[in-house]
Structure 1
Amino acid sequence: MTTETTTRLALPLIQPGQAQKHVTHNEALQALDAVVQLRLLSLGATEPPAAPAPGDVHAPGEGASGAWSGQEGRLAQWDGTGWRFLSPEEGWRAWDVAGGVLRAWTGGAWRPVVPDLRDLDGLGIGAGYDAENRLAVAASATLLSHAGAGHRLKVNKAAPEDTASLVFQSGWTGHAEMGLAGGLDFTLKVGDGATWTPALSVARDTGIVTLPQGATVNGPLNGTAVQSTPADGTPGRVLTVGAFGLGGPLPAVGGISVTDGSLVPGLYAYDSSSGSSGGPAGVVRATVLHARRGGAAGETQLLIVESGATGVPPGLIFGRARSGAGWGAWTCGSVLDSVSGPTGRSLRQQDGTQTCWHTLSTSTAGEVTWVFPQPFVSTAGLSVLLSVNSASVITLSPRHWNKSATQVGISVTNTSSVRVATTVDVMAIGRWF
């Protein structure tokens, strides 16, 4: 049995004793010219072109008409005088001239050898994708770079209550997540594999950062949110150790009598030899507490003396205030010291006044010495007052008073100038500095 065509391409074979062998040979060459290095000038067209060129090949589509009627799924080649039709086989390749795509005949259609990367069902690079993870990459690193300027990675969600975030996992278990999780504020949370704990949130409308679990800072705080100097009173700044003497030396102060509100409330070191002014007369060094009610009005000051001139001992406390006008005078008069013992009680006031009092018994044998609970600075201005607890007529004999800065001798006589034993209340008033 003689075969008339080749098995795969159905090219006509020259038969034994055939006349005009060149016709058969040329027909086979025409078929080869059509399918070898195949180029499709159109794909899916339904009407033949009006002026085809010899060798042009087209792939008619559904509903083809005219000379292409009924030739859907075949190849149409113009040989210069008419259309020749060839049926492609599975795996044939052709260059789609119009689309600029290399295609292969498979499943009854000319499909791209490299699929269109738009609207893919998924993409796996070194890994397989699935219905949830449409893009899967298994690599030691992933680089997203710029194309001449910047580069932004965008994660979009459908509704505010949905989530757009980055999750960091270990062993396929999430341990950190940041992004818009269930809202529109930026959040950061961490987890132990079972429970998620919020660590940080940033309000979208104000930018204020909230740390629900608190914060541990293992280094110094810097920047404009922190005090620039120990006396920096800018509202909203973080108070540092040493600010206004809290945990460190007090900041030096200049004039403390300003009335324009420019002196920031706080604790200050007062040193007249270094330029401080406005304190009480005689004060050399002191601590000043300055407080302000609001604006430039309603201010108070307390000053504790560290060192002063004669008559201004250490520890003395002065105070003054103002309410919208100038400062009032420095006042000093509160109790500085109180002593109670077997020889009575004493009070020392900040203005230098000292008062001592006691109850004692006099003697018929002679003067009784009262040693003051605390000594006076001198006898100048020192007054001793007595009150006698007796129903009989008793007079005091001043000549029996033996007075010094530390003690006084006391005796009580009757109208006959005879010393009597009785109970007296005694008080001494003078100065302790």
Structure 2
Amino acid sequence: MPSTSPRLALPYLQPAQAQKHVTHNEALQLLDAVVQLRIQDFDLTLPPSDVLPGDVIAIGAGAQGDWAGQDGRLALWDGTGWQFIAPAEGWLAWDAATRALRVLSGGVWLPCVPALQNLPGLGVGTASDEVNRLAVASEATLLTHAGAGHQLKVNKAAASDTASLLFQSGWTGHAEMGLAGGLDFALRVSDGTAWTEALRVSRASGVVTLPQGAVLDGPLAGAAVQASPTDATPGRLLTAGAYGLGGPLPAVGDATASLVPGLYAYDTAAGSSGGPAGVLRGALLHARRGASLGETQLLVVEAGSAPNVTPGQTHGRARTGGAWSAWTCGSVAQSDSGASGRVLRGQDGTQTCWHTLTTSATGETVWTFPQPFASAAGLVVTMGVGGATPAPLFPRHTAKGATSVALSVLDSAGARVSATLDVIAMGRWT
């Protein structure tokens, strides 16, 4: 019969053994040491002085003194001396110093939970692989702060590499944002086959580019949008109604003041001033070539208080570094020609008609104007006989009206003759 047990080397009681209690107590002492094993310290080579009965220490390599030759064994202080126990592969022990569980593997006491550093992979609810070394299968993943805040960092090795967040459905990528193949932030989407870049933010300037354009279904607001229809802050977006674009024209006060370029409503009843004489209401266009450079104004009349100020009439003026020039109104309102001659109407209300005709020797020749005049009052008709005239001829007109005039050519005896006559009529059409 062997003298000790095969696993813990506990001493057996032998037949006819004297003082069996000694052997029995020795076995109990060993059981007390190794069952629910607790080790005070590891890898010591010299016996400590501050030990208590029952303390167990794992001896390290190169033991000295009372521990000489006991490398790798467990030293049990029984109160009077040291007992040495040879641990076996797989024994578990509580590390009293670090409050952790260890296991003996290959002669080394290792933590039962390995150090969570440089792990080859970690899977939570699923398996990791060579590419996805951290894999989590869960309804949600929470990353919270430990103090003031929290940052999620995605780093890449080179500028041409990718550091991004990829969003998939059925393991097919459909959206990605981050640094994809460059250092500008980009967002791109996919139909499952091809990728299309939707947004790019320049790392140098912060300027946002939308390569595919944008569709806005809501209103724009903020410091980058006009605060009022006449807000001319550089770089701000125009809104509907700005300077009358898509809305009512903003009112103008003194038209001679320094105005922001744009369209304005001119209304003397609402306090507008500085416009052409006789203009009550109209639309004012103010333009400027640049800072401290020339300015021009164009005013289209809606209503006036003078006979020569009519709706649709256009007045203009300009200035360069000084006072405004006088308002002018001389542009052509209508120019036309036909069988009864040619007509030219000016925006100032004047009208000129001219024609060449042949008079009759038997009666008056009536010329109907290409366009009627406002009235016969103030209408001036001038004539000249054309062609070779062997004798003096005298043109005359009668029955002058707003729409026509009767013409004839007389010889020296006062008789009507047939002759070529050039005639001009000037008056007002308004």
Same structural fold, with TM-score higher than 0.5 when normalized by the shorter chain: yes
Q: 1:314: which partner in 2? A: 311
CA deviation after TM superposition for structure 1 residue 136, in Å: 0.8
CA deviation after TM superposition for structure 1 residue 46, in Å: 2.8
Q: 1:432: which partner in 2? A: 429
RMSD: 1.9
Q: Is residue 413 from structure 1 mapped to residue 410 from structure 2 by the alignment?
A: yes
**Cα distance change, pair 73–121 in 1 and its aligned pair in 2 (3 A):** farther
Q: Deviations over 1:344-394 (max 9, x none)?
A: 111111222211011212111111111111122233332212121232324
What secondary structure sits across from 1:24 in the alignment?
A: helix
The residue type equivalent to 2:35 in the other structure is V
**Cα distance change, pair 402–81 in 1 and its aligned pair in 2 (3 A):** same
The partner residue of 2:327 within 302, 326, 330 is 330
Q: Is residue 170 from structure 1 mapped to residue 169 from structure 2 by the alignment?
A: yes
The residue type equivalent to 1:33 in the other structure is D
Equivalences for residues 335-374 of structure 1 within 5 A: 335-374=332-371
The partner residue of 1:298 within 279, 294, 301 is 294
Moved more, 6-15 or 276-285: 6-15
The partner residue of 1:377 within 370, 374, 377 is 374
Q: 1:239: which partner in 2? A: 238
Equivalents in 1 of 2:130, 2:109: separation in Å? 27
Q: Deviations over 1:127-167 (max 9, x none)?
A: 11223222110111111122343222122233333322111
Q: Deviations over 1:176-232 (max 9, x none)?
A: 111122332211112233332221111223221111121111222121111122222
The partner residue of 1:422 within 408, 419, 427 is 419
Q: 1:285: which partner in 2? A: 281
What secondary structure sits across from 1:294 in the alignment?
A: coil
Equivalents in 1 of 2:261, 2:379: separation in Å? 42
Q: 1:388: which partner in 2? A: 385
Contact 1:253 1:268 in 2 (8 A): yes
Q: Deviations over 1:283-311 (max 9, x none)?
A: 11111111112224411100000111132
Contact 1:360 1:424 in 2 (8 A): yes
Q: Is residue 208 from structure 1 mapped to residue 204 from structure 2 by the alignment?
A: no
Equivalents in 2 of 1:59, 1:138: separation in Å? 42
Moved more, 17-26 or 49-58: 49-58
What secondary structure sits across from 1:411 in the alignment?
A: strand
Equivalents in 1 of 2:236, 2:190: separation in Å? 33
CA deviation after TM superposition for structure 1 residue 91, in Å: 3.2
Q: 2:75: which partner in 1? A: 76
Equivalents in 2 of 1:138, 1:72: separation in Å? 47
Equivalents in 1 of 2:50, 2:338: separation in Å? 134
The residue type equivalent to 1:185 in the other structure is D
What secondary structure sits across from 2:416 in the alignment?
A: coil
Equivalents in 1 of 2:423, 2:132: separation in Å? 99
Equivalents in 1 of 2:363, 2:387: separation in Å? 18
Tell me the TM-score normalized by structure 2. 0.94
**Cα distance change, pair 123–397 in 1 and its aligned pair in 2 (3 A):** closer
Q: 2:54: which partner in 1? A: 55
Contact 1:14 1:25 in 2 (8 A): yes
Contact 2:76 2:83 in 1 (8 A): yes
What secondary structure sits across from 1:26 in the alignment?
A: helix
Any gaps of 5 or more consecutive residues in structure 2?
Answer: none
Moved more, 22-31 or 386-395: 386-395
What secondary structure sits across from 2:30 in the alignment?
A: helix
Q: 1:274: which partner in 2? A: 270
State percent identity of aligned pairs.
63
What secondary structure sits across from 1:177 in the alignment?
A: strand
What secondary structure sits across from 2:5 in the alignment?
A: coil
**Cα distance change, pair 195–69 in 1 and its aligned pair in 2 (3 A):** farther
Q: Deviations over 1:11-41 (max 9, x none)?
A: 1122232211121112112211211221212
Contact 2:224 2:235 in 1 (8 A): yes
What secondary structure sits across from 2:294 in the alignment?
A: strand
Contact 2:383 2:395 in 1 (8 A): no
Any gaps of 5 or more consecutive residues in structure 1?
Answer: none
Contact 2:40 2:56 in 1 (8 A): yes
Moved more, 269-278 or 185-194: 185-194
What secondary structure sits across from 1:198 in the alignment?
A: strand
Equivalents in 2 of 1:264, 1:345: separation in Å? 42
Equivalences for residues 173-212 of structure 1 within 5 A: 173-212=172-211
Tell me the TM-score normalized by structure 1. 0.93
Equivalents in 2 of 1:71, 1:196: separation in Å? 69
Contact 1:12 1:25 in 2 (8 A): yes
What secondary structure sits across from 1:231 in the alignment?
A: coil
Contact 2:384 2:395 in 1 (8 A): no
What secondary structure sits across from 2:249 in the alignment?
A: coil
Equivalents in 2 of 1:107, 1:85: separation in Å? 19
Equivalents in 1 of 2:428, 2:251: separation in Å? 33
Q: Deviations over 1:385-414 (max 9, x none)?
A: 21212323242254x522122211100011
Q: 1:35: which partner in 2? A: 34
Q: 1:89: which partner in 2? A: 88
Contact 1:346 1:355 in 2 (8 A): yes
Q: 2:125: which partner in 1? A: 126
Count of matched residue positions in the alignment of Structure 1 and Structure 2: 428
Contact 1:187 1:202 in 2 (8 A): yes
